[in-house]
């Protein structure tokens, strides 16, 4: 989240995430952010950890001094699981039939 000369990023491992406040210019080398379609760049952050940051309303965060890209991210191709699609359609049809049957009985 760009905030002018500074930005917020989320630094996430397999289980948790923490907000990092850094200079926007330190993120120029970051090409991939993590989302459904991409595996984000692996970065190393050095800075000051704040359990209750006085600048950011008591939030837990890190104020980054340096950010280093360790490993580049990449695009992720996700295949559609046709078994899941078929199961979803069948369950939807069963739900509609159940509603029609019970509606007539009332």
Residue 79 C-alpha from the chain's centroid? 20
The full set of domain ranges for the chain reads: 2-78
Q: pTM of the predicted model, to two decimals?
A: 0.64
Give pLDDT, residue 106: 60
Residues 87 and 73: their CA atoms lie apart, in Å, by 33
Residues 26 and 43: their CA atoms lie apart, in Å, by 11
Residues 5-61: pLDDT tens digits? Answer: 898 988 888 888 899 999 988 888 888 888 888 888 899 999 999 999 888 889 899
**Residue of 53, 76, 73, 72 whose CA lies nearest to 63:** 53
Residues 28 and 41: their CA atoms lie apart, in Å, by 12
Give pLDDT, residue 92: 97
Give pLDDT, residue 78: 86
């Amino acid at each position: 989240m760009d905030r002018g000369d500074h930005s917020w990023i989320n630094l996430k491992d397999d289980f948790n995430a923490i907000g990092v406040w850094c200079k926007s210019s330190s993120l120029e080398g970051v090409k991939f952010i993590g989302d459904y379609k991409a595996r984000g760049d692996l970065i190393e952050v050095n800075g000051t950890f704040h359990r209750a940051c006085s600048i950011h309303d008591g939030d837990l965060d890190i104020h980054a001094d340096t950010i280093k890209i360790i490993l580049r991210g990449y695009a992720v191709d996700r295949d559609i699981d046709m078994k899941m699609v078929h199961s979803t359609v069948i369950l939807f049809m069963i739900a509609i039939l159940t509603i029609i049957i019970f509606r007539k009985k009332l």
